[in-house]
Amino acid sequence: MTSTSLTPQSAIRQQTAVSRFSAEYRTDTPFVAEPRPRLSWVTAAQSTGWLQRGAELRLTRGETVESAEHAGPESVLVEWPFRAIAAGEQVDVEVRVSGNDGGTTDWSAPLTLVGGFVDGPWQAEAISLPARAGEETPLGQPGQLRHEFTVGEGLAKATLFATAHGVYQAEINGCEVDDQILKPGWTAYGDRLNHETTDVTALLAPGANAIGIWLAGGWFTEKYGFHGFAKPFYGEQPAVKVELRLEYTDGTRETVASGPAWMASTGGPLVSSGIYAGEAFDARRAEAGWSEPAFDDAHWLPAPVDVKDTWAEATPAIAPPVRRIEEVPVREVLTTPAGATVLDFGQNLVGRLRIRVTGEAGHTVTLRHAEVLEDGELSLRPLRQAAATDSYTLAGSGEEEWEPRFTFHGFRYAQVDNWPGGLDAAAITAVVIHNDMRRTGWFECSDPLLNRLHENALWGMRGNFLALPTDCPQRDERLGWTGDIQVFSPTASYLYDSLGFLGSWLQDLSLEQGHRDGVVPIIVPSVLGMLESPVAAWGDAATVVPWVLFERFGDTGLLRRQYSSMRDWADALLKVRDSSGLWQGQMQLGDWLDPAAPPDKPGAARTHGDIVASAYLYKSLDLVAQAAAVLGHGADQERYASLAQETRLAFLAEYVTPAGRMVSDAQTAYSLALIFGISTDPHQRQALGDRLAELARLGGYRIATGFVGTPLIADALTVTGHLDAAERLLTQTECPSWLYPVTQGATTIWERWDSILEDGSVNPGEMTSFNHYALGAIADWMHRTVAGLAPAAPGYRKISIAPRPLASLEYAATSHETPYGLARVAWKRLEDRILVDATVPPGTTAVVSLPDGAPVFDVGSGQHRWDVPAAAAAAGPGAPSLHSPLADIIDDPDAYAAAWQAIDAQDPAAAAAFRKDTVWYRQTSLDQSLLFTPPAVKEDIAAALAAVAERRSTPTFTNS
């Protein structure tokens, strides 16, 4: 092994600077949700091995300047060292850092922070919209609210606070107050509401002013449920609370608050709005100046006040808001067999359409959305009861621009009906929306299919991180399924800074759990009223997600906040644990969507549900013990560690034979025992891994795992020395596999491995989504193993550099914006060498395990390069023939492809059976397995295999 450092060791002191400075989770606003926000900073330093020795913090509060010393290396989520920030108070914080190179940075740019929480009880009353005269008021009817008020001279600051049962947007004097959408998001409304805090000083002027509110039902009035049994869960009509606080230079304060003096209208242009249904807008009904002063609202009605006002307390949002993130143009305009006009945006995405249209007043354009086409038409069946349809009725005032306000759709295709005149594709744009998280993770390699798979996982996360982590964004569901995020949280934590987003959702999980004696529902917020007993892998989100966030972000505060939830879930499981120490005999979802399960029975997996449940029982008990150790709860640590050990031993006694076989001889079972650490004996672990690899071979290296096993199997194979088998699984293109959807044109992760069947038809199952991120959890293994970057200590304080080059790849690279700065690992092949480049952020160290198998070693921060010999290639496959064992054929991709392609040329049905139904017994010859194959076809197969052997025996000459 040779190693070089790209930064000279002799550079003892070089310029350093604070490159990023932030408070708590949000960086998009100066408003903080906590009076004592924790501070984080990133230091850019060029010297190799740079470590922080300490820092000095400086606070400017009005005319007062305070300072505080911070000793030691920590620069992430550092406790606030000053007096608490008061509600509405503005302060500036600066930091300068000293390092082990003897240097000290300049002061950072000031970080302005404002107390974004309400001081004292809200003065605002909850107001809603008037009922329609003489007719039944539709569920979740949208409308508008307004109020005029006077601003005096000398206004210093104006802050708007608002929350809703539903979704809203505020305007002041005709201008929207911010660029956020679908505010205030979806929380467990009965227990917790988010409120926005917005500085609106610049929108006000002395004298008459007006505030207007667009209001719709959103998630609050939506109907939830399946198979025609959907019904409202929270309420039937939306309502809003608004409070505008004015501060003047002379110290006086005023509050403008929602109440009975506000006026309301349901006769405006927003005719109907629903998350699932879509939105209807009639521009003829728009009233100019409605959110400006001097508007004649005599025809409006007083806003009804919710006199009960049983609203949950509203607290500042800690998750980044939903925003318009990107715009995607039309890639192609299609005409369907039925003559409809369909737009293809080339990417399955989540958002809505923005249109520019000219036509006569009263002309209505309809937009319908779908993820895929079937027989050339929009495939609407997978949407179930979701209409996913928007309509716009023109005012006839020249070119008009419109975008739905309070809905979203999951789609790649949109059918446009009744467009006036010829359709110009440039007149319609897809607007991508999701929570505005900071991108932090990237991956690329030499295989374009794997790059597309990674992009699909990324787009799946983008589409489903909208208000809360949902399962899918298109059909009549879009719910916070706990199992999905439990398996995907490591990938999510790498791709985006999702700490605030998932931390917010975990608050709702804890609150929902509190109503169920520690049991976590299968969706959060819980609106289905089903499966209220513990469900393994779903409810375990209570322990797994906080621990993942601790590992990836180093947030001990979040772990402390969620600890009681973690412990309560473990205690709920102990109540259903049987006398043997296992979790058995309960209803489970198990290894959901195992590809062997029938379309109408997605839980009928090869791995028994009791094995899944008992493995997760151990996992959660063990995580609670680990969390207790971090937090210093010694008694809890001892108790839960002992309980976990009891369950681990009971699992081995019940489900694992002495020879290393599982009673459910299925890949998920073996993966659970290995990756959860249930099997610890080296000989037994190797036997389990060897059997797992054999099962992968017997399955033709096609996927045989569902939601539970899929995130684990590549790791389970890798840690037991079967990287080659993991590679074959990853690079497989036959169905079911990760790459089969890619070969079918997928641009997001599918819910089912075969959401589109090989004949091009849509899977007949009731659950067929084309944007479900859970199975995209393999991306985390691609980051950690294929490219080789992972945390070796919480929050990446220490980094693991351990690339494991796949034989089929020429290079791979990944980078991640850690809490300490950018880390990167990249490798490439140079003949018989592997060149590894790595970037270790300042303030951190790394443990390095190179692919040549040399002993691990540590390095400091900076740029590093290693040139090592590639692992010795395994003995190449021999000359394949009809007499070769099936095991040799399946382990030889060239021979396998030649065999089935030769069959396919004569009999496609037989080729499909060969690929899917052949049992790959190790010693059975290919000739024996083709017992009923016509001799002519056998001759073609023999010739194809001979051609493979000939290619291998022919020397390849290259110019030197």
**pLDDT tens-digit profile of 882-910?**
878 777 787 788 888 888 788 878 778 77
pLDDT digits (tens, 9 = 90+) for 793-840: 999 999 999 999 999 999 999 999 999 999 999 999 999 999 999 999
Q: Which of 432, 456, 517, 509 is nearest to 774 (CA)?
A: 456
Which two tokens mark 520? 């976590």
Distant-in-sequence, close-in-space partners of 778: CB < 8 Å, separation ≥ 6: 453, 457, 710, 711, 714, 730, 738
Alpha-carbon dihedral angle through residues 67, 72, 77, 82, given to the nearest 10 degrees: -20
Cα 824 to Cα 844: distance, rounded to the nearest angstrom: 13
Residue 623 sits at φ, ψ, to 5 deg, of: -65, -40
**Tell me: the pLDDT tens digits for 574-586?**
999 999 999 999 9
Other CB atoms closer than 10 Å to residue 750's CB: what's the count?
Answer: 26
Query: Residue 957: what pLDDT?
Result: 43
Cα–Cα dist 728/380, whole Å: 35
Calculate what percentage of the chain has a pLDDT beyond 90.
84
Q: Which residue matches tokens 């058995």?
A: 584
- Any idea which residue has 């490159």 for tokens? 19
pLDDT at 917 over 70: no
Active-site residue, selected from the candidate residues 243, 477, 727, 734:
477
- Report the chain's mean pLDDT, rounded to a whole number: 93
Q: What are residue 232's DSSP bridge partners?
A: 223
Which of 171, 196, 551, 751 is flagged as catalytic?
A: 751
Over the stretch 425-479, which tens digit does the pLDDT of each residue have? 999 999 999 999 999 999 999 999 999 999 999 999 999 999 999 999 999 999 9
HEC string of 526-544? CCCCCCCCCCCCCCCHHHH
The amino acid occupying position 378 is L
Q: What is the mean pLDDT of residues 269-283?
A: 98
> d(Cα 826, Cα 835) in Å, to the nearest integer?
8
What number of other Cβ atoms are within 10 A of residue 858's Cβ? Answer: 10
CA distance 244 to 216: 21
Residues near 955 by beta carbon (within 8 Å), at least 6 away in sequence: none
pLDDT, position 711: 97
User: What is the distance of C-alpha 442 from the center of its chain?
Assistant: 14
227 has pLDDT over 80: no
Question: Can you name the residues that pair with 392 across neighbouring β-strands?
Answer: 281, 365
Inter-residue contact 837 to 865 (CB < 8 Å): yes
Instruction: Name the pLDDT band for 872 (thresholds 50, 70, 90).
Output: low
- The one-letter code for the residue type at 317 is A
pLDDT value, residue 8: 43
339-362 mean pLDDT: 98
Task: Confirm whether 751 is a catalytic residue.
Answer: yes
Q: Which residue has the higher pLDDT, 890 or 312?
A: 312
Pair 275, 269: CB distance under 8 Å = no
User: What does R_g of the chain's alpha carbons equal in angstroms?
Assistant: 30
Q: What is the DSSP letter of 98?
A: E
Active site residue 477: yes
Task: Assess whether pLDDT exceeds 70 at residue 865.
Answer: yes
Q: Are 801 and 825 in contact (CB under 8 A)?
A: yes
Rounded to the nearest 10 degrees, what angle do helices 609-631 and 541-553 cross at? 50
Task: Average the pLDDT over 735-752 and give the result.
Answer: 97
**Ordered DSSP codes for 210-236:** EEEEEEE-TTTS-EE-STT--EESS-S
Handedness of CA 806, 808, 810, 811 (dihedral sign): negative
- Write down the pLDDT at residue 38: 98
Peptide bond into 658 cis (omega under 30): no
Q: Phi/psi at 886 (nearest 5 deg)? A: -55, -35
- Supply the pLDDT for residue 417: 98
Give the C-alpha separation, 743 to 745, whole Å.
5
Residue 205 confidence class, pLDDT cut points 50, 70, 90: very high
Contact in structure between 142 and 239 (CB atoms under 8 Å)? no
Question: What pLDDT is recorded for position 955?
Answer: 55
pLDDT band at 598 (very low <50, low <70, confident <90, very high): confident
Cβ proximity of 729 and 714 under 8 Å:
yes
Confidence at residue 6, expressed as pLDDT on a 0 to 100 scale = 43
Average pLDDT over residues 261-275: 97
pLDDT digits (tens, 9 = 90+) for 3-25: 444 444 334 345 799 999 999 99
Rounded Cα distance, 6 and 864, in Å: 6
CA distance 522 to 535: 7
Supply the pLDDT for residue 238.
97
Q: What pLDDT score does 918 carry?
A: 55
Percent of the chain's residues with pLDDT above 70: 96
Minimal CA–CA distance to 725: which of 681, 749, 753, 691? Answer: 691
**Which phi and psi (to 5°) does residue 458 adopt?**
-60, -50
Q: Distance between CA atoms of 219 and 524, rounded to whole angstroms?
A: 13
Residue 851 has pLDDT above 50, yes or no: yes
With tokens 């010393």, the residue in question is 69
Beta strands in 802-942 (DSSP E): 811-818, 821-830, 833-840, 845-848, 857-859, 862-869
Q: Please write the tens of the pLDDT for every residue from 104-115.
A: 999 999 999 999
In 3D space, the residue among 270, 310, 293, 332 whose CA is nearest the CA of residue 206 turns out to be 293
End-to-end Cα distance, the chain: 25
Residue range 668-678, pLDDT digits in tens? 999 999 999 99
Tokens of 866: 């290693």
SS3 call for 683 = helix
Torsion region of 154: left, alpha or beta (phi above 0 gives left; psi -120 to 50 gives alpha): left
pTM score, two decimals?
0.94
